[in-house]
């Protein structure tokens, strides 16, 4: 099992971050995400909580030995479930890989919560776990590769989303003030 | 906006996403403000859930039909089924106890 976690804050109010969350892709800094589809969505008529289930398509160049060993391809799909709860101002996004899931799972959780002074806390954790008891060293290599990819993409995700936030809200601010 | 996993669903996806986004942007801030009492929250939630279905329900049915077919064609339906059995993720994840006060 390998873990990854990071926290940081965006200098934008929580509702701006949560609105911009749906505008994150396509993103020139995160070109590994090539498709996004909503496969289920509900708005709870009592709590107001929005649950969204999406499938993300990613292109990842895996090391040759992983492709040979596990039969992976360039296309990888991820299932993502998010909950937006306006009452508690709590957003959670949980993602699990669909591709190669018989061999390893990458379970990611993201949370956006409001901070004082109109800032937003972003926290992210991921657990990468190979399922096989056999092939210990191969599994370990796979985990390390996945966690490395995750770290790189997490970094790009932050850079990319920072751009989206800035562009979206600067543009709207300009439109509003003109 | 990003692509659908199937090119033929992309126009429907774009239309649905736009519909959701424009509804959501009008929903979020008032929903936070309407959450002072459970009654006010429920009244607002019911009204806006109905409005969402009314505005985006039709395009959602079209897009959903297209994407369900594409998911099956890519062989993702069994993987999704397994993932849903393993982690249903039907109930919201509760806020952290250390979450700062609003």
Residue A71 has pLDDT above 70, yes or no: no
Average pLDDT, chain A: 90
Confidence grade of residue B102 (pLDDT, cut at 50, 70, 90): very low
User: Per the domain annotation, does B44 fall within a domain?
Assistant: yes
Rounded Cα–Cα distance for residues A80 and A33 (Å): 13
When CB atoms are compared, the residue of B3, B41, B82 closest to A87 is: B41
Mean pLDDT of A57-82: 79
Residue A11 has pLDDT above 60, yes or no: yes
Rounded Cα–Cα distance for residues A7 and A125 (Å): 9
User: Per the domain annotation, does B38 fall within a domain?
Assistant: yes
Domains of chain A: 2-172 (3.30.530.20)
User: Per the domain annotation, does B22 fall within a domain?
Assistant: yes
Rounded Cα–Cα distance for residues A123 and A102 (Å): 27
Residue B44 has pLDDT above 70, yes or no: yes
Confidence grade of residue B100 (pLDDT, cut at 50, 70, 90): low
User: B88 to each of A52, A76, B29, B102, how far by Cα in Å?
Assistant: 13, 21, 29, 30
Q: Is A99 in the B-facing interface, judged by CB distances under 8 Å? A: yes
Determine the Cα angle at B86 with ends B84 and B87, to 5°.
65
Rounded Cα–Cα distance for residues A86 and A61 (Å): 38
User: Per the domain annotation, does B92 fall within a domain?
Assistant: no
- ipTM for this prediction: 0.94
The string of pLDDT tens digits covering residues B13-41 is 999 999 999 999 999 999 999 999 999 99
Report yes or no: A41 and A51 within 8 Å, Cβ to Cβ. yes
- pLDDT for the residue A168: 94
Q: How far is B49 from chain A (nearest CA, A)?
A: 6
B93 contacts A109? CB cut-off 8 A: yes
Name which of A23, A32, A48 to mutate to probe chain B: the one with the most chain B Cβ atoms within 10 A of its Cβ. Answer: A48
Total domains present in chain B: 1
A68's tokens? 């040979």
DSSP A11-71: SS-HHHHHHHHTT--S-TT-TTEEEEEEEEEEE-TTT--EEEEEEEEEE----HHHHHHH-
The string of pLDDT tens digits covering residues A128-164 is 988 765 566 777 888 889 999 999 999 999 999 999 9
Q: Which positions in chain A touch B24 (Cβ < 8 Å)?
A: 19, 22, 50
């Amino acid at each position: 099992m390998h873990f990854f976690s990071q926290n940081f804050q965006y200098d934008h109010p929580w509702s701006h971050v949560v609105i911009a969350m749906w505008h994150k892709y396509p993103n020139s800094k995160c070109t590994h995400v090539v498709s996004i589809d909503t496969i289920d969505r509900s708005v709870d008529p009592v709590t107001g909580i929005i649950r969204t289930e999406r499938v993300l398509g990613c292109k990842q160049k895996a090391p040759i030995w992983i492709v040979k060993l596990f039969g992976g391809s360039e296309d990888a799909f991820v299932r993502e479930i998010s909950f937006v709860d306006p009452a508690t101002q709590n957003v959670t996004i949980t993602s699990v890989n669909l591709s190669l899931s018989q061999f390893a799972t990458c379970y990611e959780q993201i949370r956006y919560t409001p901070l004082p002074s109109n800032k937003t806390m972003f926290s992210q954790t991921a657990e990468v776990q190979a399922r096989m008891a056999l092939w210990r060293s191969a599994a370990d290599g796979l985990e390390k590769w996945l966690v490395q990819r995750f770290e790189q993409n997490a970094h790009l995700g932050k850079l990319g989303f920072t751009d989206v936030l800035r562009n979206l809200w600067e543009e709207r601010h300009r439109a509003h003030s003109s | 906006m990003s692509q659908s996993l199937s090119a033929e669903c992309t126009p429907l996806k774009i239309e649905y996403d736009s519909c959701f986004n424009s509804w959501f942007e009008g929903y979020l801030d008032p929903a936070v403000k309407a959450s002072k009492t459970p009654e006010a929250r429920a009244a607002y939630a019911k009204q806006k859930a109905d409005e969402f279905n009314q505005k985006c329900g039709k395009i959602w049915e079209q897009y959903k039909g297209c994407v369900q077919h594409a998911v099956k064609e890519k062989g993702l339906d069994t993987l999704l089924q397994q993932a849903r059995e393993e982690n249903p993720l039907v109930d919201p994840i509760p806020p952290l106890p250390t979450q700062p006060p609003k």
